[in-house]
Amino acid sequence: MGTASHPLLENPQHTIEKRSKVVSAAEAVRLVRDGDTVATGGFVGIGFAENIAVALEKRFLGDDPLAEKGTPKNLTLFYAAGQGDGKERGLNHFGHEGLVRRVVGGHWGLVPKLQKLAVDNKIEGYNLPQGVITHLFRDIAGGKPAQISRVGLGTFVDPRYGGGKINDCTTEDLVSLINVGGEDYLMYKTFPVNVGIIRGTTADPDGNITMEKEALTLEALAIAMAAHNSGGIVIVQVERVAERGSLNPRQVKIPGILVDCVVVAEKPEYHMQTFAEAYSPAFSGEIRIPMSSIAPMAMDERKIIARRAAFELPPNGIINLGVGMPEGVSSVAAEEKVIDLLTLTAEPGVVGGVPQ
């Protein structure tokens, strides 16, 4: 009785070569189809794949000679944190009538071009809690039908008060009210993600991704899993490509089995660490700058309010900071040299340190 041979072992010369996943931005976005649901990662200007967004916009506007003008069309854009500069960059590249049909986002303040489409009832729009959306990525990856949460009860996200819909043409209910054990909860529906667009620092030809120079890792892995497990594709923008097998496996944040396309940024401005900073080793945790190098706030009304709030900070406390005035509270704590007695956190996942 003969012994069966595995197909991979039938070629003793091992002449089968592994295909590189590195492609151009234009080639990557040609894989996006009409009607796809596209999930993007990023936080303001951190971790946003600007080059891929620019390429997608160019394809739609007809600047890609190998792609049909006006495609892809009727996309659903799905994102958690705000991604833009309030002008042209970030998700503003998606702000063209016909390119997007629906937007499900956690923050609209930085995307005036999408805002206008929503105000003019040219697109369907939902504003759901940012944290809920980050959890939805994981729930989609896990094949769950919905997320059940108390977040949003009694607010405009509650279906009794609008269900997160932001204009008249948005009619489908993505949020419903349910009762579990005598308690009210909101149920957020999941849906497949066809395309995940995320960012890292270094890739190898197999698509393994590291993030050593990124200021935040965010929900990149969850988006990759959501798209992959939905049968979709994952496109990752990076700064550079390393030799196959040379990456430190401990630094790989997204394994290549989840990645379909790797795009190397074509210009430095497409891969800035933030929209305001090309690169700071302090942002990526490579160095820790002295607290004494942080300039104190000017003595004005803002600082007076921040100092009063700082009086309430408990020793050894864990303090969650919001955007705006709370940043001044941390500056006062650093100036008064009590920052070492506190642990400050912020919404994108940072633990420790002082906000820039």
Give burial (CB, 10 Å; 0-12/13-18/19+) of 9: exposed
pLDDT exceeds cutoff 90 at 54: yes
By percentage, how much of the chain surpasses pLDDT 70? 95
pLDDT reported for residue 165: 98
Instruction: Tell me what the mean pLDDT of segment 288-301 comes to.
Output: 85
pLDDT exceeds cutoff 80 at 63: yes
pLDDT reported for residue 4: 61
Q: What is the mean pLDDT of the chain?
A: 93
Q: Do residues 313 and 329 touch, judged by C-beta distance below 8 A?
A: yes
pLDDT bracket for residue 293 (50, 70, 90): confident
Domain boundaries in the chain? 18-271, 291-346
Q: What is the 3-state secondary structure (H, E, C) of 110-127?
A: CCHHHHHHHHCCCCEEEE
Residues 98-136: tens digit of each pLDDT: 999 999 999 999 999 999 999 999 999 999 999 999 999
Lowest mean pLDDT among 191-195, 222-226, 234-238, 339-343: 339-343
Q: Do residues 237 and 49 touch, judged by C-beta distance below 8 A?
A: yes
Residues 220-229: tens digit of each pLDDT: 999 999 999 9
Residues 153-163: tens digit of each pLDDT: 999 999 999 99
Residue count of the chain, please give it.
356
Instruction: Tell me what the mean pLDDT of segment 207-222 comes to.
Output: 97
Q: Which residues pair with 178 in a beta bridge?
A: 185
Q: 78 φ, ψ to 5°?
A: -130, 115
pLDDT exceeds cutoff 90 at 17: no
108-124 core/surface letters (b: 16 or more CB in 10 A; e: else) = bebbbbbbebbeeebbb
CA distance 295 to 279: 20
- Residues with catalytic roles: 347
CATH topology assigned to domain 18-271:
Glutaconate Coenzyme A-transferase (3.40.1080)
Lowest mean pLDDT among 3-7, 150-154, 258-262, 306-310: 3-7
Q: 171 φ, ψ to 5°?
A: -120, -30
